[in-house]
Structure 1
Amino acid sequence: MLTNRIAALFSGFLVIGLLSTTALAETEPLAPEKDQGSTAREIVGKLEMLHYNKIKVGDEMSEDLWDEYIDALDPTKSYFLASDINEFREWQTKLDDQLRAGDVKAGFEIYNRFRLRMGDRLDNILSQLEKGLPAFDFDRDESLELDREESQWPTSISDADDLWRKRLKSSVLNLRLTGKEDEDIRDLLERRYKGQKKRLEQQNSNDVFELYMNSLTRLYDPHSNYLSPRSLENFNMSMSLSLEGIGAVLQGDEEYTKVARLVAGGPADRTGKIKPNDKIVGVGQDKDGEMVDVVGWRLDDVVDLIRGKAGTFVRLETIPTGGDGTHKTILIKRSKVKLEDQAAKKAVFEFSDGKKSYKIGVINLPTFYIDFDAYRRRDPNYKSTTRDVARLLSELKEEKVDGIILDLRNNGGGSLQEATMLTDLFIDQGPVVQIRHANEQISRHNRSRSRAMYRGPLMVLINRLSASASEIFAGAIQDYNRGLVVGNQSFGKGTVQTMAPLKEGQLKITQSKFYRVSGDSTQHAGVKPDIPMPQLIDAESVGESAYDTALPWDRIHAVPHAKYFNLKTLIPNLLTKHNKRTASDPDFIFLRDQFKFESERADRKHLSLNEVMREQERENVNQRLLSMENRRREAKGLEPYKDFEAYEESESEEVATIGGPVEIKLEKDPILNEAGYIMADFIGLADKASKAPPQVANF
């Protein structure tokens, strides 16, 4: 899948990788530039010498590179012909030798053939559209193959023509189902394909070289990337805290731009209308500017359209994941994602275990942050995760809470230093994380060095988007038996990258792996909760394990560490109470039904091109969504929606887009609400155990 070039519209979140397959190209055949051969040799040398995996570039990797590069260019097998692929086979076992010699001509020759095929295809489509919208038979019972990974390359131009006939027909039908008239559809598609042709003609040598080199780096792992000078400039700009936009991480996915994740507290997150895996198909400036179709656009160019000055508005036309394919338009007010917007915040709620009520403090932590500039200036008031959480803990102590939930859902990580120091607030002296480097040396310098500030009942709430530093903290709390970990299996990002300079650009390279004090790696497997919650995000498409070349899970020796609670005796009882409570809970029934429904939709292999069938499918989708929501509402004593339009209207109510921390609420967060009841049960069962002194684990 084409999911390797990730860009962010906010400061501090930019991962550079693969260019979109609709990247720009010049009209003349592209050729390597002077220094690209020596840069290729540098990249091969640094990968072999510095990468954690220590893999040598040889014939086997040459074959893998050949596959990866062709798949990166044409993942849907829609442009190349079988004869092209057969012709390219002469390079299958030679690419390694060529790269060592600084020869990248094969990569350019393959790309030039791709550019030729794509240019011919765009000319063909534009020629049809100039004569008017093709007269498709939407009564015909045929379908478009959605997943062509196992399909064969077209063996002839006529086979390719039929494939593209179906693709164009699908595009027309999708737009018809949104209510657009035929003339408007023709105009939109003509602009779309003319735009793709223009960007194809603008492609340059640096773009092709970056694409080819990143096909190589991805064979080592998904987080090692070659950054061309242009990409490096974007990367440095994003890390400078100077970008303004919507607060979303975007990635290329074939011809679409897809939302990878949202920044907690950012403008996109505040709308409540965008979710990971939603596709962005149009971008409009201000409240009434022209909506520009961005299907098939290069990711960089989509980012440039969405990025803008704080205080201005941008409109996104999206296809929501798991929906019926209907497009939605979302208005977002751009702003800087400031530290204070992502700062830790607290709330206090009351929960009962059926016998006694308890005051539960909730601390929401969107990221592991630190104001490095203020820290280096020795500003006594610099902001950081640990300082803010310590202040909130003091306030919660004054409010006499009985237990604390630390909410790390959607927390993609941040400062390792802060993850270590935060752990220090909850455990006494001891190791927090182990780091094994490419030279196999193991570092255990990240330790808790003080007595715990808070010693009471603790829960860590995680989900699939909790990654990196979040996993280090949650893993340490779990290994020390210091508190419960509740939610979903975390992302599994357990690797560390560093930047290596090159003659042209830089190489971001994986050199270390994180390991818990138990010896288990957080890589690939992530942190598994003691008490699981309903799955809301598909783990097969989101998370480290979704990458084909992700480094594997493994383990090293454990290090001695304390144990605070005998959780093994408590968890079975807590699970029984949790399962009994949620089996009939309307919100949990809805969440489970919703995930099942979205999974069924994601598993579709074909898309009907019959208009009546598609209309019926959309009606069935809408009715099922309405039925699930109304069952939930009726079970909660709420008035059901009369029809899908009323339900859809309620979902599109205005949500604030201004800055400031988001308030913690229970009414629209059944996961947090249930976590509160689990915590009440935990306190009731473990009140005595929480006061017992820690014991050193035996190995």
Structure 2
Amino acid sequence: MNHIARIESESVGQFNTKKRQFRRFSHSLQRIFTIKPAEHMRKAPSLLPVAAILALLSATPSPAPAETNYGSIAMNVARMLEGHHYSQQSFDSSMSQRVLDGYLNLLDFNRIYFTQEDVDKFKANYAETLHNYIVTSNSIDPAFEIYDIYRERVQERIDFVAKTLKETKFDYASTDVVTIKRDKLPWPANKAEADKLWLNLIEADLLSERLSDITKEEARVKKAEEKKAKAEKDLAEGKKADEKPAKEAKEATPEKEETPAERVAKRYERLIEQIDENEKEDIANFFLSCIANAYDPHTEYMSPQETDNFRIQMNHSLVGIGALLQSSEDNLAEIHGIVVGGPADKQGELKLKDKILAVAQGEKGEYVDIKYMKLNKIVEMIRGKDGTVVRLKVISADEPDINKEIAIIRGEVELKEKLANAELIVTPPLNGRTKKLGWIHLSSFYADMEGGTVSCSADVERLLRRLMAEKIEGLIIDLRGDGGGSLEEAIKLTGLFIPKGPVVQSKDYRGNIQWRDSENDRPVYEGPLLVLTDKASASASEIFAAALQDYRRAVIVGEKSSFGKGTVQTIIPVDRFMNSGLGMFSLNKPRAGHLKVTIQKFYRIAGGSTQLRGVVPDIIIPSLRDVMEIGEDALPHALPYDTIPPRTFTYATKVPLPFKELETRVKSRLTVNPEFQYITEDTLRLKERIDKNSVSLNEKERLSEIRENKARIETRKEARKERVQKLADAKTEPFTNFRLNLDNVDAPGLTEESKFSEEDTTGMRLAAKEDEEDEDIAADDKKLLPFGIEPFKLESLYILSDLIDLDGNSPKTANTSEIKKPAGS
């Protein structure tokens, strides 16, 4: 199994990056028709999304592609899939159907642009012959043909929207509903049926904007009333009035508000602009991805840029200028963040909120205008080799009337936000005494893809040894949201906590079974241990959690199960197969990309697979995601679950961990904890919404629902205030948190969490968020939770405290002669 280099990093949804990016803009008009997990979970968004890192990549600027033969690339990809994929399935007519279905779903996931007439023609032409175009004719012309028709249909819909917005008046008193998810419904039969569907879609989008305006105005009025009441109270108590709000209100110049119709029209206009930005290479990239995904969800075609992004994810470092960009409202690339200590930061001239107008290579290269250019194209223009110069022409944020030119020497940039970090938590008296607990956050199993020194297991060990030096009594490894990464790192990390022995098994398509052992003679840490998982914990996370569970080494706490990805991928450059005499003379090899292909399945040492089923926690905590379609079993073409014989290994403890007693204590707390009662109530509401799968077009009904929801939130807010006040009145001791990262892990003192800035966490100075009020609300909400700790985290600390107390009288280590095979899988 030495050739297994890594398991890819995955996230909720598990669709490849290009699919997520494509759907993001193609569905931008359907915000009210999509149930988004983020709306129901308090989870901080990433401050450094890989897809948004611009001017940071390490490769040489890619030349403008020659006439690349995408059909030849597709033929090679198909042949590579036949020869390397675990299923060993031929690329035949059955694959033609899968590829076509995947491509149509990629372009029109919610089935609102194509008509059934279109789809019937596509299937008649290509459902059983697409493989012949690819393998025999070295052609992907059908992909371009279908895309052209897709583009026509989108333009027709946009024209229809413009006409409808101009000519149709909606009264929003309808009894009709709109289906939220249409991916299982048929396409509209023809243009007339599409028009009927789109009348409802337009009305729903307009209604959404109207409701947004109404609720914003209600919030504004309420805030003004609260300020007035406070001012009157202060006046009555003889306090000096706060002149700042009045001064700000007087100085503020209100911008002209766009109408709902104007906002809807603008979004549709932007949609077609984004579609038109896709070049031939982009369209080919979409289609090549569908070819790969036809084999299983984790087999992907990766363009050169996606390969760079994958390397960045794994290495957490790159060569560039150290600037994070995002699109501004006027379609310019705006500086959203600057990496502290990076090339741009050291050069000093580039500022947050500066907007880039043009980019030039070297000290004398011509400037290229980048306005309206796709962000990923700007990436390719700004990235380059270490030590080379890139010049930017920017609009200064401080002086908008002045354009300035900035030359920056590219260099290595470390991305710190996703690196392992830790907390030392001193509890109030739990079960009679205070405790020191360690908490390690690991967002991915990162490693240097080129064999360098980047290693998540080494980073975790540094943090762990510091926590042990601080005399922690128990430890939590937080793998929530950790989509995986390097298999080698998963094995090394497991070795920090178990005696020497097997960690994971694997099987290839021939049925050959291999296993990997931990090389550590003894664990680094042998104390009480919890591992936290959720539905987004996948791949390497599942290997780690499953091994510790099988060894009786840790209590796994989390949602109903982890993601369920039990497959191993390797990355192969497509151009490796272009030297095999297959007639690739016209192919631009540097643009050929890579194939990430599933080559094996992995298995627990107890014999069962994590494929589809994931890792089921020992202690299950209720979650909204319990009713969502998240996980391997929700993805098309997922490989099946199976088992292999277990390995022989030594338990870490003589007796099983005290699961029953822990579960009894957890249940007794959850039944009286209002926060988990709220989760249960919200889960039932969410399930009802998902099952209903529709939204009303009646304004009164929708407004009533919104106000009912706001009232529920306010009621909970008041209840939380009362609970927090009771804790304060009882003079309950707080939890004390200290933060550790790889910068301060060896420092002599400890840094309290309150003194740990966002810059300390991310290694980046970020531009202020546009809506600071939302940030204030989030901060206030945290203050209304007991001890300011979110419910899952607080309950995990209680469970660890219970484990420490129950573990006090348990035998710590199994006799080395006591060899066990856990029952079951």
TM-score bracket relative to the smaller structure: 0.7 to 0.9
CA distance in structure 1 between the aligned counterparts of 2:441 and 2:312, rounded to whole angstroms: 25
Partner of residue 453 from structure 1, selected from 524, 529, 545? 524
CA distance in structure 1 between the aligned counterparts of 2:474 and 2:805, rounded to whole angstroms: 11
Partner of residue 573 from structure 1, selected from 654, 661, 674? 661
TM-superposition CA deviations, 1:214-268 (whole Å, max 9, x none): 22221211121223445445555666634767799xxxxxxxxxxxxxxxxx99x
**How far off its partner does 1:555 sit?**
2.0
TM-superposition CA deviations, 1:269-290 (whole Å, max 9, x none): xxxxxxxxxxxxxxxx94999x
- Structure 2 length as normaliser, TM-score? 0.64
SS where residue 226 of structure 1 aligns?
Answer: strand
Q: Corresponding residue for 2:443?
A: 367
SS where residue 445 of structure 1 aligns?
Answer: strand
Q: Corresponding residue for 2:433?
A: 357
Q: Corresponding residue for 2:789?
A: 668
Is the counterpart of residue 659 in structure 1 residue 760 in structure 2? yes
**How far off its partner does 1:480 sit?**
0.5
Is the counterpart of residue 482 in structure 1 residue 553 in structure 2? yes
Consecutive unaligned residues in structure 1, runs of 5 or more: 1-5, 25-31, 249-265, 268-284, 290-296, 315-335, 377-381, 640-654
Q: Corresponding residue for 1:414?
A: 485
Q: Corresponding residue for 1:58?
A: 92
CA distance in structure 2 between the aligned counterparts of 1:446 and 1:313, rounded to whole angstroms: 56
SS where residue 128 of structure 2 aligns?
Answer: coil
CA distance in structure 2 between the aligned counterparts of 1:661 and 1:687, rounded to whole angstroms: 38
Partner of residue 491 from structure 1, selected from 556, 560, 563? 563
Partner of residue 119 from structure 2, selected from 82, 85, 89? 85
Q: Corresponding residue for 1:428?
A: 499
**How far off its partner does 1:22 sit?**
8.6
TM-superposition CA deviations, 1:93-122 (whole Å, max 9, x none): 222233221233333333322222222222
Distance 1:423 1:88, change over 3 A: closer
CA distance in structure 2 between the aligned counterparts of 1:49 and 1:75, rounded to whole angstroms: 30
* Max Rg structure: 2
CA distance in structure 2 between the aligned counterparts of 1:628 and 1:187, rounded to whole angstroms: 36
Is the counterpart of residue 441 in structure 1 residue 441 in structure 2? no
Is the counterpart of residue 466 in structure 1 residue 567 in structure 2? no
Distance 1:531 1:299, change over 3 A: farther
Partner of residue 694 from structure 2, selected from 574, 593, 606? 606
TM-superposition CA deviations, 1:284-335 (whole Å, max 9, x none): x94999xxxxxxx99969999xx9x9xx999xxxxxxxxxxxxxxxxxxxxx
Distance 1:106 1:443, change over 3 A: same
Q: How does 1:495-534 map to 2 (within 5 A)?
A: 495-503=567-575, 504-534=592-622
**How far off its partner does 1:87 sit?**
2.2
**How far off its partner does 1:511 sit?**
1.5
Partner of residue 416 from structure 2, selected from 327, 339, 345? 339
Q: Tell me if structure 2 keeps the 8 A contact 1:436–1:443.
A: yes
SS where residue 564 of structure 1 aligns?
Answer: coil
CA distance in structure 1 between the aligned counterparts of 2:269 and 2:797, rounded to whole angstroms: 55
Larger relative contact order, structure 1 or 2 (CA cutoff 8 Å, min sep 6): 2
Partner of residue 134 from structure 2, selected from 99, 102, 110? 99
Distance 1:566 1:678, change over 3 A: farther
Aligned residues: 599
Partner of residue 166 from structure 1, selected from 181, 200, 223? 200
Q: Tell me if structure 2 keeps the 8 A contact 1:460–1:483.
A: yes
SS where residue 453 of structure 1 aligns?
Answer: coil
Q: Tell me if structure 1 keeps the 8 A contact 2:491–2:544.
A: yes
CA distance in structure 2 between the aligned counterparts of 1:247 and 1:491, rounded to whole angstroms: 31
Partner of residue 554 from structure 1, selected from 642, 650, 662? 642
**How far off its partner does 1:63 sit?**
2.5
Instruction: Report the residue type matching 1:342 in the other structure.
Output: L
Partner of residue 809 from structure 2, selected from 688, 692, 698? 688
CA distance in structure 2 between the aligned counterparts of 1:696 and 1:465, rounded to whole angstroms: 33
**How far off its partner does 1:360 sit?**
4.2
Partner of residue 147 from structure 1, selected from 181, 191, 206? 181
SS where residue 75 of structure 1 aligns?
Answer: coil
Distance 1:383 1:349, change over 3 A: farther
Instruction: Report the residue type matching 2:790 in the other structure.
Output: D
Q: How does 1:586-605 map to 2 (within 5 A)?
A: 586-605=674-693
**How far off its partner does 1:561 sit?**
1.1
TM-superposition CA deviations, 1:603-657 (whole Å, max 9, x none): 4411111222221121122122333444444455569xxxxxxxxxxxxxxx963
Instruction: Report the residue type matching 2:22 in the other structure.
Output: S
Q: Corresponding residue for 1:279?
A: none
CA-based RMSD: 4.3
CA distance in structure 2 between the aligned counterparts of 1:300 and 1:512, rounded to whole angstroms: 32
Instruction: Report the residue type matching 2:674 in the other structure.
Output: P
Q: How does 1:95-244 map to 2 (within 5 A)?
A: 95-101=130-136, 102-129=138-165, 132=166, 134-179=168-213, 184-229=259-304, 231-232=306-307, 235=310, 241-242=317-318
Q: Corresponding residue for 1:20?
A: 22
Q: Tell me if structure 2 keeps the 8 A contact 1:539–1:546.
A: no
- Structure 1 length as normaliser, TM-score? 0.75
Q: Tell me if structure 2 keeps the 8 A contact 1:368–1:418.
A: no
Q: Tell me if structure 1 keeps the 8 A contact 2:501–2:517.
A: no
**How far off its partner does 1:46 sit?**
0.8
Identical-pair percentage: 30
SS where residue 598 of structure 2 aligns?
Answer: strand
Distance 1:534 1:636, change over 3 A: farther
**How far off its partner does 1:681 sit?**
2.7
**More displaced, 165-174 or 63-72?**
63-72
CA distance in structure 1 between the aligned counterparts of 2:689 and 2:323, rounded to whole angstroms: 31
Q: Tell me if structure 2 keeps the 8 A contact 1:435–1:515.
A: yes
**How far off its partner does 1:677 sit?**
2.6
SS where residue 459 of structure 1 aligns?
Answer: strand
**How far off its partner does 1:584 sit?**
0.5
Instruction: Report the residue type matching 2:421 in the other structure.
Output: A
Distance 1:666 1:486, change over 3 A: farther
**More displaced, 510-519 or 343-352?**
343-352
SS where residue 681 of structure 1 aligns?
Answer: helix
Q: Tell me if structure 2 keeps the 8 A contact 1:20–1:299.
A: no
Consecutive unaligned residues in structure 2, runs of 5 or more: 1-8, 27-65, 215-255, 327-338, 341-351, 357-372, 384-391, 398-412, 576-591, 728-755, 764-781
Q: Tell me if structure 1 keeps the 8 A contact 2:496–2:520.
A: no
**More displaced, 63-72 or 158-167?**
63-72
Q: Tell me if structure 1 keeps the 8 A contact 2:539–2:566.
A: yes
Distance 1:610 1:433, change over 3 A: same
**How far off its partner does 1:697 sit?**
0.3
CA distance in structure 2 between the aligned counterparts of 1:690 and 1:679, rounded to whole angstroms: 17
Q: Tell me if structure 2 keeps the 8 A contact 1:19–1:298.
A: no
Q: How does 1:261-410 map to 2 (within 5 A)?
A: 286=353, 338-339=415-416, 342-350=419-427, 354=431, 356-357=432-433, 359-368=435-444, 372=448, 376=452, 384-410=455-481
Q: Corresponding residue for 2:218?
A: none
Q: Tell me if structure 1 keeps the 8 A contact 2:530–2:554.
A: yes
